[in-house]
Structures are given as structure tokens and as C-alpha cells.
Structure 1
């Protein structure tokens, strides 16, 4: 596999895998094996699987669309370059999550010490759409829609006040379903440390969201 750039067809505008193509662990391992051998369409499928997931993680971590897009692009470009060195196909998913998380933390470390309200849409807006779409009756109820939006705004603000490592733990666990071991590998801490940070994050968010119980 020559070159260090992400293949042009795998940028943000490409479509998701076709319905019925499957993207479970076995299918993903097969795609990784093909991509590692230089199969460009296989890698494009991997990009289609991961780009939205990684963007949601990066956007919620960084609260800036441009920075989040850069993190995803850098992560997937690095993923293309590292494929020949990958020894286990099943390790690809953990690697991209770990790399994206650490790139987000790097961005946060290098930001100025002057906090500001970053522009862009609510990073949890997609969750609001899901919540309202679940109930067709409520979906047409402006009061319910406004209530969901206000609750998610409170969650967004509470998340933004968490230390970066706690925010990462909470997002990786609660939104992306990562195990304690996977989160620990991403943050280079022990699973026990993950539990501690996650507990503190949940305590803070629980207190912040009291009015919504």
C-alpha cells in the first residue's frame, strides 16, 4: 500500500456501506484484512463505518466542528498508514478510537487558557432527533421538543465542565459502549482508574441534571 494520504474516495462525502453488507466484528475483520493487503474499497468501507462515530466523539470532546473534522481526518489517514503493521484485524477499531481520543486530548491541551463559547450546533442534537422520533405523537408536540432540547443543552453544558479525561471516559463508555479496558488503553490509564474517573463524571452529571429527574 503506497502513499501516506487517505484515499480520495474515503473523504466525508462518501456514502455509507450498502444495506445488507454487514459491519459486525467478523465482517469488519475481513475488511481490515483486505485493506491491509491494499484493497482500497475495503478501506473506504472501514472509513464509512467509523467516520461518523469518531466525529461524534471528537465533536462532543472539542465542541468545535473544524477541530473535530481534523481529528477524524488525521485519525483515518494514520489508520491507512498503519494498516500494514497491524498484527490482528480485530485491533483496528480499538486503535482508531484510541488514536482519536488522544488527538482530542492533545487539542484540548494546546488550546489557549481563555475559554470561549465555541460556534456550531449542539453536539448532542442528533440525540434530540432520536428522542423525538421514537414517539410519533410526541414528535409533533412543540412542548416536548423544547423540553428535550433544554435537557440536552443542560447535559452539553455539564459535559463541557468536566475535566477532559472524565469527559472522555463518560463519552467512550455511555455513548460509544467501550469497555473499561478499551477506555483505559485509549487514555493510557488502568481500568480501575477508568472506573474512578467515570464515577466522578457520573456524580457531577447527576448533580447537574437533578432538575430533569
Structure 2
């Protein structure tokens, strides 16, 4: 397994396509946290649903590995698969959020006023993200949190880079308006 860990992604994808479970396990380890985080944020903090969709994404990846034409494009394909699964869930129902699943990180300087302000700001941002239309939320998260390019996002959500820019601009404007009190 140690020798596999040093292989590049394209080689691991090729080996996983040949049904090497150790190679696929390494791919899962490399992407699992990022895909889970994307699903969690797209689904408004519904951790159980995010876990389920992350698992479904990797099950789909295992089944459909032979269809991937470009081994180096595996990461983008995973993001697209997870994004589409989340959008499908969001279109079927309006997700609910269990506030007990969201715990703000402890503030290292233990200043209660600062901790309360940070907690309030994060709650406001989470609520603002929940209010965005799913397509805007997906584009904003893929760009701002996951660092994807406009072209990648366009490919992931099935639109043009211009439409992605517009969605992100509208999302930024709405989020900036909501977050004015915390500036």
C-alpha cells in the first residue's frame, strides 16, 4: 500500500479500473473529505444525507470507472457526480438542518464576546447559504470553498462559464448583504 501511495492520480485510476481495490481505496482517501464537505454544505449541514451521498458517489465511481476516458479527470468527475447527486436531492425536497450537528469551532483565545460574534456570523452565513437557490449555492461552494475554475464549475453543473460567473456574482451579492453587520 505504501508504494501505491506514491503513485499519481492517473495511475491509481488506471489500476482501480483494472479492479485493484487498494488503488481505489487510496483514491477514496484522497477525495473523501473534500466530497463530504461539498455535500454537507450543499445540503445545508444535513450530515447524514451528506454521508450517504458521499458514499453513493464513491459507489458510483467504482461501478463507472470503465467509462472514465481521461484518468487525470477523475477528481472533476467525482465533483460532478457529487454535485449532481446533491442537486437531485435538493430538487426533490427542501432539506432540513439539525442545528445540533453544527458546532462552531472553539475560539483559541477563549474570549466569550468574540466567540459569540463568530458563532453569530457563522450562523448568519449558514442561513444565507441555505437561502440561495441550489444552483447558486453549488457554484459558490465549488468556487469559494473548493477552488474550482469557472470552466470546471460550468462542466460540473452543465452550463456555461458566463452563467457560472453570473450565479457566483449574485450569490456573492446576496451573501455580502446578509453579512454587512459582521464587517
TM-score (normalizing by structure 1)? 0.77
The offset of 1:168, in angstroms, is 0.4
1:105 matches 2:87:
yes
Which residue matches 2:39? Answer: 58
Which residue matches 1:152? Answer: 122
Which residue matches 1:10? Answer: none
Q: Is the 8 A contact 2:13 2:23 kept in 1?
A: yes
Tell me which of 118, 131, 138 is aligned to 2:97: 118
1:141 matches 2:116:
no
1:183 matches 2:149:
no
The offset of 1:117, in angstroms, is 4.5
The 1:41/1:152 distance shift into structure 2, 3 A limit, reads same
The correspondence of residues 1-213 of structure 1 with structure 2, limited to 5 A, is: 21=5, 27-63=8-44, 64-111=46-93, 117-119=96-98, 120-122=100-102, 125=103, 128-129=104-105, 132=107, 136=108, 138=109, 140-213=110-183
Unaligned runs of 5+ in 2: none
Q: Is the 8 A contact 2:43 2:95 kept in 1?
A: no
* Structure with the larger RCO, 1 or 2 (CA within 8 Å, 6+ apart): 2
Q: Distance in 2 between matches of 1:116 and 1:90?
A: 33
The 1:116/1:65 distance shift into structure 2, 3 A limit, reads closer
Q: Distance in 1 between matches of 2:84 and 2:91?
A: 10
The offset of 1:116, in angstroms, is 7.0
Q: Distance in 2 between matches of 1:176 and 1:143?
A: 30
The 1:28/1:212 distance shift into structure 2, 3 A limit, reads same
The offset of 1:184, in angstroms, is 0.5
Q: Distance in 2 between matches of 1:209 and 1:51?
A: 30
The 1:46/1:116 distance shift into structure 2, 3 A limit, reads closer
Q: Which runs of 4+ in 1 moved over 3 A?
A: none
Q: Determine which structure has the larger helix proportion and give its number.
A: 2
> 3-state DSSP class of the match of 2:8?
helix
The offset of 1:185, in angstroms, is 0.9
